[in-house]
């Protein structure tokens, strides 16, 4: 990410020959790190929020880009939303939505944090009609 931000702000634009390139917004991904421990999921909110903090540190460190809106893309507990396993069964119940709400509050609602406003969050909710719900979950969609 550092090299990309450097290129966008002060590198040679090979299309125009100028320095830097037009930038409407900055985006980064922030992911948690869930672990399956003693038969239950431990989500790793701390890892997710450290990822958010690191993303903001990097985007704010480039003065010419520091005022740009930020999109936190794919901001969720982990990177395997469609993986069928008991460890991912939590996505079919209230644990996933509670986690998502908690991370949003920590990022935009906690006040006092030094980050600038977030333009958008992107959370992937994958629905695959020909597959069963994640293994290990007792939650089934209502029909």
Residue 19: its pLDDT value, please?
94
Residue 143: its pLDDT value, please?
44
pTM: 0.69
Return the SS3 of 56: helix
* pLDDT tens-place values along the chain, 143 residues long: 888 899 999 999 999 999 998 988 888 888 888 888 888 888 888 888 888 888 888 888 888 888 888 888 777 777 666 677 777 777 777 888 888 888 877 776 554 445 555 665 555 554 444 445 444 444 444 44
Residue 111: its pLDDT value, please?
47
Residue 12: its pLDDT value, please?
93
Residue 48: its pLDDT value, please?
85
Q: How far apart are CA 91 and CA 17, in angstroms?
A: 48
Cβ proximity of 108 and 60 under 8 Å: no
Distances (CA, A) of 13 to 17, 24, 99: 5, 16, 41
Residue 18: its pLDDT value, please?
93
Q: How far apart are CA 6 and CA 81, in angstroms?
A: 32
Residue 112: its pLDDT value, please?
41
């Amino acid at each position: 990410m550092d090299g990309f931000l450097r290129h966008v702000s002060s590198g040679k634009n090979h299309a125009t020959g100028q320095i830097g390139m037009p930038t409407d917004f900055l985006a980064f991904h922030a992911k948690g790190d869930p672990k399956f421990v003693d038969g239950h999921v431990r989500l790793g909110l701390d890892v997710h929020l450290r990822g958010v903090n690191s993303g903001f540190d990097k985007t704010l460190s480039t003065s010419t880009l520091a005022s740009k809106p930020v999109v936190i893309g794919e901001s969720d507990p982990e990177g395997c939303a469609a993986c069928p396993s008991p460890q991912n069964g939590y996505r079919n119940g209230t644990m996933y939505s509670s986690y998502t709400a908690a991370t949003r509050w920590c990022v935009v609602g906690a006040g006092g944090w030094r980050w600038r406003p977030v333009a958008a969050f992107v959370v992937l909710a994958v629905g695959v009609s020909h597959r069963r719900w994640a293994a290990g979950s007792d939650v089934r969609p209502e029909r």
